[in-house]
Amino acid sequence: MNDLVRIDGYRYEDDAKISLEQILDDLSILMTVAERIKSIAREKGATLVGIASKQRLLDSPPSGDPRYLLPSAQSAISFAVTMDGKTVRDFISKKDWLSHCEERKYMARLLYVVTDCLVNFLRSEGFDAVGVDGNNAYRPEKSTSDVTEMTEFIPDFSHRYGAVAAGIGRIGWSGNLITRDYGAMVELGTVLTSAQLEPDPLLEKNPCDRCKICAAVCPVGMISKKNVVTVRVAGIDEEIAEKRPNSCCWIGCSGYHGLEPNGKWSNWSPYRLQHPLPESKKELDALNARLMKSDPQMRLGNNSFQDYRKAMFDSDWFTNTVCGNCRSVCWHEREDRKKNWRLIINSGVVTLGLDGEHVVAKEEVVEVDTPYGVRVAVQKSDYKGIACLDKDPRSIRARAAIDLEVLSSISCPQN
C-alpha cells in the first residue's frame, strides 16, 4: 500500500497511524443507515439482503406481521445465505449424507451471526431491534403443551414473507422462497427494527417457471401438481401449490417415512410407515403427534425445539437432515433442476446399517418393526447380522437418537 492516501484533498500521513480501516470507518458516517445495514450483512456472510417496510407486510397472513415480535417495528431486514451446489448434489444423489447436515448447521450459525451484528448495530444507533429465530419457534397453539401437540407451526415471523416484501425473492410453487440467481438454494434470516428505512424494490418477475419438479421429488406427496392457492404478500398475489397439512411434510422431513410410493427411491430416512398416509388432516395430525411423542430425539430435554440457537452452536448437536428435496432440486436453471430430479429418482433406497450409518441398499431390503411406531428398512444380510450384533451403544456410530435406540431395540430374526 502507498505510504499516503488522498481523499478529497485530505492527506492521511502514514506516521499519523491512520489505517485504511479507520478511513473506511470515517467514510461510513457518509453512508445511510440502510447502506450500513447492507454492508454489515454482506461482510458477515449474507449473499442477499433487502429491506421491507411495515406497510408492505400488513396485507400478508398473520405470520407476516412484524409487530407480533416488535410492537414498534417499522421495517424488516431480510437476508439470505446460499448453499453449496456440490454438497447438495452429493446429498440428493446419496453419495454423502453428513456434509449437507453440517452445511445446514453452518448456515444457521452464519444467519445468527448476521442477525446479532445487525441487532447490535441498530441498537447502537438508538433503534429498537430484534432478531427472528432461524427456525423451530412457533406461536402458541390452543390446547397444546409443546411442539409434539402442534399442527399449524405458525412462526413468530415468517422469513419467507419478509423476503418477498424485501425484494429478495418470490414464493415458488413449492412454497419455498425462490431467488432470481440461486433458486430456492437459500436459508433466510430477518431482523425487525423501529428504524424507518427506505424499502427495496420488489422482485417483479417470479423466478418459478412452474416446472413442478418440486412436487415430483416429495416422497410423501405434500405438494399438489395441479391445485393452486393464493397467498397475498406485499400487494403480490402469489399463486402457489396447494399443500397437504404441515404434518405431512413433518412426517417426510423428520424422517418418519422416507420411501416414495413406487418404492424405487427414498430420501435419507430408513424409516417407513404404512402407505398411503392417511387422507384426512385430523388423522395425519394425530399420526404425526403420536410419532413425535415416541421419537427419542423429541423426548431429549435439550432438543432444537427448546432452543434452536443453542442447538446450532452446540458442537455435539447433530442437524439431522433427511429431506428438503423440494428445495434442493430448485436451482436457477431448468436443466439443472431436471438433472437434480434424475439424481433423486436414481439415488436408491436408504437403509439403516448395523453400525448406525444410513446406507443405500445394494440388495434385498426387509422392513422391521420398532417400538417407535415406524418400521425400519434394513438390508437382508444386515438383518441376519443383528443376532450377533454387539448391542453396546458405544460400538454404534448412529448420529440420530432414533437410530441408536432402534438398533438397540430391534429383535433378532428367528432363523
Chain residues that interact with ligand B12, rule: CB under 6 A: 61-63, 132, 134-135, 153, 155, 157-160, 174-177, 184, 186-188, 229, 231, 243, 246, 249-250, 253, 321, 323-324, 326-327
What is the C-alpha to C-alpha distance for residues 162 and 130, in angstroms, rounded to an integer? 14
Peptide bond into 276 cis (omega under 30): yes
Say which entry of ligand B12, ligand SF4, none residue 50 contacts (CB below 5 to 8 A, set by partner kind).
none
The CB-of-161 to ligand SF4 minimum distance in angstroms stands at 16
Q: Where are the alpha helices (DSSP H) in 304-378?
A: 308-313, 325-328, 334-345
The CB-of-341 to ligand SF4 minimum distance in angstroms stands at 9
Look at the alpha carbons of 310, 314, 317, 321 in this order and tell me if their dihedral is positive or negative: positive
Question: Residue 63 or residue 325: which is nearer to ligand SF4 going by CB?
Answer: 325
Say which entry of ligand B12, ligand SF4, none residue 134 contacts (CB below 5 to 8 A, set by partner kind).
ligand B12
Say which entry of ligand B12, ligand SF4, none residue 246 contacts (CB below 5 to 8 A, set by partner kind).
ligand B12
User: Do the Cβ atoms of 83 and 107 come closer than 8 Å?
Assistant: yes
Q: Find the binding residues for ligand SF4 in span 329-348 (CB under 6 A).
A: 329-330, 337
The CB-of-254 to ligand B12 minimum distance in angstroms stands at 8
Told to check if 174 binds ligand SF4 by CB under 6 A, we report: yes
Told to check if 258 binds ligand SF4 by CB under 6 A, we report: no
Question: Residue 74 or residue 254: which is nearer to ligand SF4 going by CB?
Answer: 254
Q: Which of 172, 189, 245, 353 binds ligand SF4 (CB under 6 A)?
A: 172
> Residue 13's beta-bridge partner residues?
4
- For 80-142, give the DSSP string: EEEPPHHHHHHHHTTS-SHHHHHHHHHHHHHHHHHHHHHHHHHHHTT--EEEPPSSS-B---T
Told to check if 275 binds ligand SF4 by CB under 6 A, we report: no
Question: Residue 174 or residue 320: which is nearer to ligand SF4 going by CB?
Answer: 174
Told to check if 326 binds ligand SF4 by CB under 6 A, we report: yes
Q: Which of 208, 284, 350, 400 binds ligand SF4 (CB under 6 A)?
A: 208
The CB-of-125 to ligand B12 minimum distance in angstroms stands at 25
The CB-of-28 to ligand B12 minimum distance in angstroms stands at 29
The CB-of-71 to ligand SF4 minimum distance in angstroms stands at 33
Say which entry of ligand SF4, ligand B12, none residue 292 contacts (CB below 5 to 8 A, set by partner kind).
none
Exposure string over 331-356, b if 16+ CB within 10 A, otherwise e = bbeeeebebbbebbeebebbbbbbeb
* Other C-beta atoms lying within 10 Å of the C-beta of residue 213: 20
- Find where cell 449424507 sits: 97
DSSP 295: -
Number of residues in contact with ligand SF4, rule: CB under 6 A?
A: 27
Separation of CA 278 from chain center = 25
What is the C-alpha to C-alpha distance for residues 355 and 335, in angstroms, rounded to an integer? 38
- Find where cell 436414481 sits: 346
Say which entry of ligand B12, ligand SF4, none residue 229 contacts (CB below 5 to 8 A, set by partner kind).
ligand B12
Told to check if 259 binds ligand SF4 by CB under 6 A, we report: no
Cell of residue 10, nine digits? 485530505
Cell of residue 155, nine digits? 412462526
What residue ranges bind ligand SF4 (CB under 6 A)?
Answer: 172-174, 178, 184, 208-214, 217-218, 220, 222-223, 249, 252-253, 323-326, 329-330, 337
